[in-house]
A and B are shown apart, each in its own frame.
Chain A
Amino acid sequence: MATTLKPTDALMGASIKRLEDGKFLTGRASFTDDIKLVGQTHAVFVRSPHAHARIRGIDAKAALGMPGVHAVLTGEDLKGSGVNPMPVGWLLPDIKIGEKHALAVGTARFVGEAVAVVVADTPALARDAADAVVVDYDVLPAAVEAVDALKPGAPQVHANAPGNVAFNWQIGDRAKTDSAFAGAQTVVRQRLVNQRLIANAIEPRASAAAFSPANGELTLYVTSQNPHVHRLIMGAFILGLPEHKFRVISPDVGGGFGSKIFVYPEECVVAWSAKRLARPVRWTATRSESFTTDAHGRDHVSDAEMAFDADGRIIGLRVKTVANMGSYLSLFAPCVPTYLYGTLLSGQYDIPAIHCEVTGVYTNTTPVDAYRGAGRPEACYLVERMVDIGARALGMDPAELRRKNLVPAGSFPYQTQVALAYDSGNYEPALDKALEMLDYKKARAAQAAARKDGRLIGIGLSAYIEACGIAPSQVVGSLGAQAGLYESATVRVHPTGKVSIMTGSHSHGQGHDTTFAQLAASELGLAIEDVEIVHGDTGRVQFGMGTYGSRSAAVGGTAIYLSLQKIKDKGKQIAAHLLEASPADMDFADGKFFVKGSPSKAKAWGEVCLAAYLAHNIPANIEPGLETTSFFDPGNFTFPFGTHIAVVEVDPRTGYVELNRYVAVDDVGNVINPMIVDGQLHGGIAQGVGQALWEGATYDSNGQLLTGSMINYALPKAENLPSFETARTVTPSPVNPLGIKGAGEAGAIAATAAVANAVVDALSPLGITHVDLPLTPERVWGAIQNAQKRS
């Protein structure tokens, strides 16, 4: 792609208020749970209370005897009716896939795994009946922590995965890295735990299905970030439903953060039982079910080593990571701790030798998959912690050590040692701007003065790299993806000139109704209200890969842009015909097709649209109508970047961490709507700070989730966050004609490391070099006590 769009039009780059917010703020949105189906019944799942147990028998007699109960179905019923196990959508060499059925067959492998489903007239009745189903369990010992699950004698989660190893994967050059370490002046080592997180979208997962015996069509409403992916995987691989008779609708969806990408057991069971019972069936997760059954995120234990030469240049990075995959491989789980993690370990730095080994491990815990950032926050946390640990060992300022090692501005595209080639970048100005906004010198002086008074103030940097819009399809296919990663867009111009855009991207908080309309209205010279964005319905949208990995604007937006160009080209041909001019001489601006150099020889947008549909007077070689579809398959990922800085104060008496300032300079390429990008950054930063200070899913040794509710799983709250100070630099991406890089995950990627570095910086006068996440008061206080004992 040669040209880069200049966002000169008023619509592009304008902070237009979100068009979709009216319905959300006034309760008029239509979420899956709001959609009522005639004759609907309600499903409640009977779930395993044990982390690992053989199912000896299921007695449903009492439940089936309750008036209003239609069915109690089990894994045996499901398997017996030809429903296939749930597939894995990303395959690695020698991967061992533990078979997973939508309802457990024979063995339950995590607390919360669905064992049976009860379908009844009301949800309360279904719950009463579910309580009356008696499951006879033979409780088995559970493997919980991944590191322990690898030890000899650990309980085995799947018979076909000896030692609980799901896969071993590596990237980089081992020999080159070993020799770099052999010649290093300074080597720093640290074990880093990236704890397990739970996404907690505000809308719980839900599904509702209706089968029409009249035409054999099954319609499924489901909280999905990618309804076409749901249709393909459920239809073709699990349930055996023909795609043309299977419609998946993902209506308004209240947040996903990755957790709604995957195909889950519940929607499969709901769809299957609706067909089996010939009655609509619906289910909405309770928050307790969200905690135990939504895919979790992160959960890595890594041994990291970073090698420096005498000048403070990073000459090698060696990483061994154990990734807890949970009890089964969730849909895209294998790519998260591998291709979305190991490939990002060069960060913003020119590191000449990197080697990373990852072991994916089965445990009797909730499956782990992509959660906002998916692999990239883990990589950023590791690299940025190691750079800080290195700076301390070298006695260098952490900002200057980073500056010394940045990939230089003139070296893009930059080929890393871990497969990826960065599209474009200019890292130093973002670092400088963040330091300037903070007034770094002044902040360091204030820190030094405070230390004299016994106060522990810390400043932490995180210079992050993100990878968005994973692509191209051919490459990801060769790496194991069982899907393409393009996006499609149909632009349908109506005879009156109004525009409907069917996009394969899916908005569940991102604001596509606004940003995509801005793009289209800007390109066509229309009022934003004249453009409608349609998404989330396989019956209305041609095809789509959905929204995740910060891909919607860069990939989905570009597909729209390409269709808009084709529409304008066809419009030029029609206008030229009407004006008796040559199409080559036509131009389009301000909603008018005109002859170059003679703006008065013009046809308005509406005239051309009507002419296209009347077809009374169009060129002989073109078809009537004005509608086109494009598929955009990018040539590379895009790589947003930036520098975030956190300032904290630690209460030495209690270990309590107060986040006092947060400065974020991000480069997401060109921006369609700054307000929406800021919103993405703010939300992501909050989640990243959450991981640093509060969040963490913990299990006891029996595999019981100890943090299964809002009472004991601490999500970030506005009252605990400062006002974020944000700014941007702009380095357009050459990968797409819009120059967009993506913004959805940047905050979550950068923030955890920034805050962790700040806390350790605050504690450094005590000789503390590392504290594991989350940095709770008790943990920080413990680190202070240990340090005081040592000294």
Chain B
Amino acid sequence: MYPASFEYHRATSVDDALGMLQRYGEDAKLIAGGHSLLPLMKLRLSTPTHLIDIRRIAGLSGVRENGGGVIVGATTTHSEVAASNFVRAKLPLLAEAAGGIGDPLVRNMGTIGGSLAHADPKADYPAVVLALRANVVVVGKSGKDSMESDKTFTGMFTTAVQASEMITEVHFPVSGSGNGGAYEKLADPASGYATVGVAAQLKVEGGTVTSAGVALTGFGPKATRLSAVEAALKGKPATADTVRAAAKQAALPGVTPYQANLACVYAERALIRALERATAK
């Protein structure tokens, strides 16, 4: 309940935050919504001696368009993403996932950058950024890097983002028409985290699936792209049969029979809805 003692700093700019990260090194942690970090600190599982608050840095929050794609600032809350008409129209998968994270309190405080940096193995956003082939923009002393989502998550609660770096925004590419996506999860009745969550994004052109992004969260150390499912979709007719057959490839090795079943069922449900959206007139 009472965290170990720490010093609180409010960063005024990204450069200010990076400067402090450098100054305080391993003893520092960035904080935005605090919904992952503070519980760990209260349990003293995490004991940073410097907290650098990036919540009030101007320009880090909000949703905007970029070349047909969507850019979400790192400190944008889950409820802002879920409520954004632009996101709902362009990437219903993203809005859907954001609207189902935790509960209203979590959604009103928690941020996309915080969720991605924390990399909880049962969090929703990692599967979404994998399925959407998003780029995570990371800023450090050596400059700005647009990190592919496939390279972002390295293990349980660990990412390729270095301790001296921070996430500033996430780029979600969207091109042309015929796109459709959906997120399906079985929420843990206690935590709201995904017992299983599947994010699916399809692009359908001339009755054929031309690209597919499917990723799963909830099992194992980190969210995973379901490459076998994607391969079973690409170039196939955009039909429910295709989707059902592809979903059978969602069972990854090393999981329990129940998890294997959940992966297939939830992949199918997400893909069916993604297909409906991608082929809707």
What is the chain A residue whose CB lies nearest that of B5? A124
Closest Cβ of chain A to B33, distance in Å, is: 17
How many of chain A's residues have a CB under 8 angstroms from any CB in B?
27
- CB neighbours of A781 from chain B (8 A): 258, 261
- CB neighbours of B188 from chain A (8 A): 714
Task: State in angstroms the CA–CA spacing of A711 and B192 once bound together.
Answer: 8
How many of chain B's residues have a CB under 8 angstroms from any CB in A?
20
Closest Cβ of chain B to A269, distance in Å, is: 18
Given contacts A653-B265, A778-B258, contact A124 B2 (CB under 8 A): yes
Chain A 758-791 near chain B by CB (<8 Å), digits 1 or 0: 0000000000000000000110011001000000
- CB neighbours of A694 from chain B (8 A): 189-190
A288 touching B189, Cβ below 8 Å: no
Closest Cβ of chain B to A204, distance in Å, is: 9
Task: State in angstroms the CA–CA spacing of A14 and B261 once bound together.
Answer: 53
Chain B 41-77 near chain A by CB (<8 Å), digits 1 or 0: 0111000000000000000000000000000000000
B190 touching A711, Cβ below 8 Å: yes
Task: State in angstroms the CA–CA spacing of A598 and B245 once bound together.
Answer: 91
B190 touching A286, Cβ below 8 Å: no
B43 touching A288, Cβ below 8 Å: yes
A128 touching B258, Cβ below 8 Å: no
Given contacts A123-B2, A131-B44, A653-B265, contact A717 B189 (CB under 8 A): yes
Task: State in angstroms the CA–CA spacing of A287 and B43 once bound together.
Answer: 10
A654 touching B265, Cβ below 8 Å: yes
- CB neighbours of A717 from chain B (8 A): 189
Within 8 A of A (CB), among B151-210: 186, 188-191, 193, 195
- CB neighbours of A653 from chain B (8 A): 261, 265
Task: State in angstroms the CA–CA spacing of A713 and B193 once bound together.
Answer: 13
Closest Cβ of chain B to A705, distance in Å, is: 14
Does A582 belong to the interface (CB within 8 Å)?
A: no
What is the chain B residue whose CB lies nearest that of A720? B189
- CB neighbours of A288 from chain B (8 A): 1, 43
Does A712 belong to the interface (CB within 8 Å)?
A: yes
Closest Cβ of chain B to A576, distance in Å, is: 62
A712 touching B190, Cβ below 8 Å: yes
Task: State in angstroms the CA–CA spacing of A280 and B183 once bound together.
Answer: 54
Does B262 belong to the interface (CB within 8 Å)?
A: yes
Does B4 belong to the interface (CB within 8 Å)?
A: yes
Does A127 belong to the interface (CB within 8 Å)?
A: yes
Does A699 belong to the interface (CB within 8 Å)?
A: no
Task: State in angstroms the CA–CA spacing of A287 and B1 once bound together.
Answer: 8
A128 touching B4, Cβ below 8 Å: yes
- CB neighbours of B189 from chain A (8 A): 693-694, 714, 717, 720
- CB neighbours of B258 from chain A (8 A): 778, 781-782
What is the chain A residue whose CB lies nearest that of B1? A286
Choose among A653, A712, A713, A782 the residue with the greatest number of B CB atoms under 10 Å from its CB: A653
Closest Cβ of chain B to A763, distance in Å, is: 16
Within 8 A of B (CB), among A706-739: 707, 710-715, 717, 720
- CB neighbours of B42 from chain A (8 A): 286
What is the chain B residue whose CB lies nearest that of A774? B189
Does A31 belong to the interface (CB within 8 Å)?
A: no
B190 touching A654, Cβ below 8 Å: no
User: Which of A131, A654, A714 is the one whose CB lies under 8 Å from B186?
Assistant: A654
Within 8 A of B (CB), among A105-131: 123-124, 127-128, 131
A711 touching B44, Cβ below 8 Å: no
Closest Cβ of chain B to A440, distance in Å, is: 29
Closest Cβ of chain A to B157, distance in Å, is: 14
A sample of 23 cross-chain residue pairs with beta-carbon separation below 8 angstroms, ordered by A number, consists of A123-B1, A123-B2, A128-B5, A286-B1, A287-B1, A288-B1, A288-B43, A653-B261, A653-B265, A654-B262, A656-B186, A693-B189, A710-B190, A711-B190, A711-B193, A713-B190, A714-B188, A714-B189, A720-B189, A777-B186, A777-B195, A781-B261, A785-B257
The 6 closest A-B pairs by CB, nearest first: A714-B190, A714-B189, A286-B1, A124-B2, A711-B191, A694-B189
Taking A128-B4, A287-B1, A778-B258 as known contacts, 13 extra A-B pairs with beta carbons closer than 8 A to each other, sorted by chain A number, are A124-B5, A286-B1, A288-B43, A653-B261, A653-B265, A654-B262, A656-B186, A694-B190, A707-B190, A710-B191, A711-B190, A712-B191, A781-B261
What residues make up the interface of B, taking CB atoms closer than 8 Å to A?
Answer: 1-5, 42-44, 186, 188-191, 193, 195, 257-258, 261-262, 265
What residues make up the interface of A, taking CB atoms closer than 8 Å to B?
Answer: 123-124, 127-128, 131, 286-288, 653-654, 656, 693-694, 707, 710-715, 717, 720, 777-778, 781-782, 785
